[in-house]
Amino acid sequence: KIILLIGKDLNLAKTFRDYLANSEFTITHLSDFNSALIEIQNKGTKDIVIIDIDSEENLKSIEASETSLQSMDFPIIFLANGDNYDLPKRIEHISSFGVIYKNSPKAVLLSSLSMALKLHNNIQALKNRLSEKVDLLQNILDCSSDYIFVKDKELRTILCNEMVAKGVGKKASDLIGHNDL
């Protein structure tokens, strides 16, 4: 498994390499967050990304890249000093698999990485199954000659069949997320 460690601390990268020397993990280190983000988007061959959040510069870069980070298809783990107990409020909503502390023992580091991978794989499997179920439901609805739709509390369409769409002269996908106005 390939880990991308993003952070300016070269000693930290060496420590991680030493910790992971005889494990299933290989580590790549990039000190510049923006360069790392470009590498991730271009190659996408990382299994886990670990981001050092102890520098204000990295926190600002994380905030600026929030949309890109949330759309990535691998676990993101934040790395912090032992005195940080929570993610800063401004980045805690970014999808991640928690925090690893820099002074964590080797066993904690390895188990955290393994758990993040397993959890990520389970989430991906659930998303795939849910997507299949949604597709099946949409196919069933589209076979009906009845007008079938579902609205949320703000009266936005969250589900509709092709008959509803044809009735208003639109595609079903154009109606999702919109109200009747």
Per-residue pLDDT averaged across 23-39, rounded?
A: 82
Whether the predicted pLDDT of 82 surpasses 80: no
Please, which pLDDT band fits residue 165 given cuts at 50, 70 and 90? very high
Instruction: Give backbone dihedrals phi and psi of 179, rounded to 5 degrees, phi first.
Output: -95, 180
Q: What is the model's pLDDT at position 87?
A: 67
Q: What is the model's pLDDT at position 161?
A: 92
Integer Cα distance of 163 and 33 in angstroms:
49
CB count within 10 Å of CB 175 equals: 19
Please, which pLDDT band fits residue 48 given cuts at 50, 70 and 90? confident
Q: What is the model's pLDDT at position 39?
A: 77
Please, which pLDDT band fits residue 58 given cuts at 50, 70 and 90? confident
Instruction: Give backbone dihedrals phi and psi of 143, rounded to 5 degrees, phi first.
Output: -80, -10
Cα dist. 18→10, 22, 86, 132, 160 in Å?
12, 8, 27, 42, 55
Integer Cα distance of 73 and 124 in angstroms:
9
Query: One-letter amino acid identity for 124?
Result: Q
